[in-house]
Chain A
Amino acid sequence: MAVIITKLHISPQSLDKISFEEHQRSRSLGRGFLSSGFGVHKKSYALCVQQCRSFKSKDGGGVEKKQKEKFEILKENQSKTKKGSGFRNSLKRAVSWVGTLPSQSNEEHREAVAKLEEVFSSAALQIGRYIVTMMSTGVVLAVGFQLSGGDSHMNTLIWYSWLGGIIIGTMIGANMVLDEHCRAGPRNVVITGSTRGLGKALAREFLLSGDHVVVASRSPESVDTTIRELEEILKEGMITGSNRTSLAHAKVVGIACDVCDPSDVQKLANFAVNEFGSIDIWINNAGTNKGFRPLLQFSDEDIKQIVSTNLVGSILCTQEAMRMMMNQPKGGHIFNMDGAGSGGSSTPLTAVYGSTKCGLRQLQSSLLKECKRSKVGVHTASPGMVLTDLLLSGSTTKNKQMFNIICELPETVARTLVPRMRVVKGTGKAVNYLTPPRILLALVTAWLRRGRWFDDQGRALYAAEADRLRNWAENRAMFSFTDAMEMYTENTWVSVFSLSVVCAFIILSSTGNTFPGT
């Protein structure tokens, strides 16, 4: 809701600025007018600060005063042209509450008011921040210009670039606000095979982002222990973490589920819907490998388990998730995990695993066509190489030397994958950990990475999971440049670039001809 309001406010404000610019240019200002313009700036600046204060001071005020203020704000907002339906609904609700005040219990009313207030104050904060930033840049520019006492051509040039800056800033800001908004609400996530390795790390990461997580695995005992562990982590996070409000919604539940049993899968889906109302993200993470050896040495049972877990399990889970999500108004997103062989290159010694993963890639491309018009998104997630049992069972010392370079701990991978899984839009996206920049980094620093996880004898050098988690909270806070780069959507970069080109063009075409000295 905050987003809608912000946007609404932004447009009239920037329009004002534009018209202001027009005035300035057309009248070919003298000093006097400029200073009066400066005054206008100041006024609105002060006004906005006042607004902000009024919002903040409301907490202490009585109910009546709040209502009054709210009504004023409501009217003010209603006078703006367009509104999102969600916003309007909340307004209507608020109005009706006010109207039926005597019949309602005081508690309920106060709660509703508090909620609305929260929304408004956050919106006002955003607007205030925006206006302050914009004004201050304008003020700085104007002051600078006055001091330099430049000519009129320079004047227009500067104001144009200022305007361009504001537009670009608005777009980036709006994108960030939208992103924040997208990331907010708790999502309902189902992760299969999530009592060990990467699945568990994903579950933990989702949980710490404030989501509802359903843990599923074959054995009920391990599901129980996993839930207990995750709840423990959640509690610690509530005490020490920075974003307590979002963690308040986080919740983890679990059920035993064998993914190759259709009735189990159905049970899992129903369980998730009963617990949380809907499923937003379903991750088919369950997979097994059974070691590295030639096909001849695999037993019937091994082959059967690999095929049924990797291929049958993923197909059945995808099917069930699609059925569920098609009936949800918001749709949903399904992720299938890639693995060795997905790309189509041969995988000797893991022939069975590789061919199931290759089959999953085909499934993905077929589903993409089938689901083109539905609200269900089918995606792939590629964790790259992760130090889990699946990879390490039966790997040789020589392999482990290679793992040093390219492998990562499950927590690291989950930390990168989860934020992007949460905000995924559309369908057919690939969320990869091993992106080209990362591979490049790994290759460049290969020398430094010797002995990162395993020493020469192939002994593990990294801490056990429990120890890792202890140090984990601090690591989370650390800033990663690649993550930050990838967090911004491509669109932002493109729009910034194209806008700056447009601005440059306008500036050149309007001022270039008369520019002194050119």
Chain B
Amino acid sequence: MATPCASLHFPSSPRLHKPSFSSQFTPLLSPSHLFLTVCSRQTPTKSTNARNSNYTTNMGIAYLNYPVVVKAQTSSSSALSREPMLPPFNVLITGSTKGIGYALAKEFLKAGDNVIICSRSAERVQSTVQSLREEFGEQRVWGTKCDVREGKDVKDLVAFAQENLKYVDIWINNAGSNAYSYKPLAEASDEDLIEVVTTNTLGLMICCREAMKMMLNQPRGGHIFNIDGAGSDGRPTPRFAAYGATKRSVVHLTKSLQAELRMQDVQNVVVHNLSPGMVTTDLLMSGATTNQAKFFINVLAEPAEVVAEYLVPNIRSIPANGSTKPTYIRFLTGVKAYSQIFSRFAFGARRNRYLLED
């Protein structure tokens, strides 16, 4: 149970039928969106009032199309004058003592941001904070113990963040688990299954809720990133069925939350998806037992540092541009995956890159 949070990032790509842009547009086509427009039309007086009072102070163009319905939880934030988000950003990453979370934290620090890290084990948080502080200085990085599955822990995490940084601009839900086991479902142990589901789904939902709650009350608003994984594109994930199911539900949750926020006309909090593709963390490598898995790991996987180097500038550009559109940032896009598989077959590139193939 003491296993750390890390994320298993399997191909969101080879034989991918959906090009990346489609997922960005699907929310616009969903019936809930239609339903929404009806909703907002029914409260014309409210919305015009809100428009008059609010938009003079704001960034303008982006908001013109959207009437704001004053809701209980948004009223406080819209009453405050909204501030544009400027770097340095305050970043919170869950499950960030190793793997992709750690690499992301390091990359954000390099870019000059402030970072809060957390994980289930207090000792690992201590040692990670220690080493990061040595590298980047005292007042840049903080850490606390947090088990994302516990509502109380997550609330404490929010309090900890507010105490040290006052606000959080970017919240990355990275904590994920596969219990480091790759087995058919019938052979998996009950504890493993419960751990996988509670960490990946329950933990993520609680984190999302707390993050939204916090960000709705921040003048700067905020961006939430949910990390997807194998199975989130709907392709079957035998040998880690439970993990795949949870990751598929992550993507679905993001979609639903986007629809909910649109329904409430919330502009300053945005939920995004983040797909790191396959990353050579322990989580992935523990499953490299079959030839097929080895092949795909060699061809498609990248070290966490490489992935973070690509993702962090992309993540940072979203608040920097003041964009409020939900996005799906992918490291391993379909084209990239195909070209890598092609070059492997054509030129034998990347053979035995991380693992010895037969």
- State the A residues within 8 Å of B (CB): 260, 262, 294-296, 298, 300, 303-304, 307-308, 311-312, 315-316, 318-319, 322-323, 326, 341, 344-352, 354-356, 358-363, 365-370
B202 close to A348 (CB less than 8 A): no
Within 8 A of A (CB), among B172-200: 184-186, 188, 190-191, 193-194, 197-198
B186 close to A315 (CB less than 8 A): no
Known interface pairs A344-B234, A348-B260, A366-B244; A307-B202 also in contact (CB < 8 Å) = yes
B20 at the interface (CB under 8 A from A): no
Within 8 A of A (CB), among B6-47: 27, 30-32
A294 close to B197 (CB less than 8 A): no
A311 close to B185 (CB less than 8 A): no
| Distance between B283 CB and nearest chain A CB, rounded to angstroms | 17
Known interface pairs A311-B249, A351-B253, A356-B201; A366-B32 also in contact (CB < 8 Å) = no
- State the B residues within 8 Å of A (CB): 27, 30-32, 73, 151-152, 184-186, 188, 190-191, 193-194, 197-198, 201-202, 205-206, 208-209, 212-213, 216, 231, 234-242, 244-253, 255-260, 262-264
User: CA of A108 to CA of B134 in the docked complex: distance in angstroms?
Assistant: 89
Q: Which residues of B contact A296 (CB under 8 A)?
A: 73, 209, 212-213, 216
A359 close to B212 (CB less than 8 A): no
Q: Which residues of B contact A351 (CB under 8 A)?
A: 205, 253, 256-257, 260
Known interface pairs A362-B231, A363-B241; A352-B205 also in contact (CB < 8 Å) = yes
| Distance between A389 CB and nearest chain B CB, rounded to angstroms | 22
User: CA of A304 to CA of B201 in the docked complex: distance in angstroms?
Assistant: 10
A307 close to B198 (CB less than 8 A): yes
* Contact with A262, one of B152, B190, B255 (Cβ below 8 angstroms): B190
* Contact with B193, one of A316, A356, A359 (Cβ below 8 angstroms): A316
- Scoring B186, B238, B255, B259 by chain A CB atoms within 10 A of each residue's CB, the highest score goes to B186
Q: Which residues of A contact B260 (CB under 8 A)?
A: 294-295, 348-349, 351
Known interface pairs A315-B193, A366-B237, A368-B236; A359-B201 also in contact (CB < 8 Å) = yes
A362 close to B201 (CB less than 8 A): no
Q: How many contacts between A and B, using CB within 8 angstroms?
A: 164
Q: Which residues of A contact B237 (CB under 8 A)?
A: 362, 366
A311 close to B197 (CB less than 8 A): yes
Interface of B is mostly: helix
Q: Which residues of A contact B248 (CB under 8 A)?
A: 358-359, 361-362
Q: Which residues of A contact B193 (CB under 8 A)?
A: 312, 315-316, 319
Known interface pairs A344-B234, A346-B255, A359-B201; A370-B241 also in contact (CB < 8 Å) = yes
B236 close to A365 (CB less than 8 A): yes
Known interface pairs A348-B32, A351-B253, A359-B245; A370-B209 also in contact (CB < 8 Å) = no
Q: Which residues of A contact B198 (CB under 8 A)?
A: 307-308, 312
* Contact with B256, one of A303, A311, A318, A354 (Cβ below 8 angstroms): A354
| Distance between A321 CB and nearest chain B CB, rounded to angstroms | 9
B252 close to A315 (CB less than 8 A): no
User: CA of A354 to CA of B201 in the docked complex: distance in angstroms?
Assistant: 12
| Distance between A242 CB and nearest chain B CB, rounded to angstroms | 41
B256 close to A348 (CB less than 8 A): yes
Beyond A262-B190, A358-B251, A362-B249, list 10 extra A-B contacts (CB 8 Å).
A260-B194, A295-B208, A296-B212, A296-B213, A346-B255, A347-B259, A348-B262, A362-B245, A363-B241, A366-B240
Q: Which residues of A contact B245 (CB under 8 A)?
A: 311, 315, 359-360, 362-363, 366
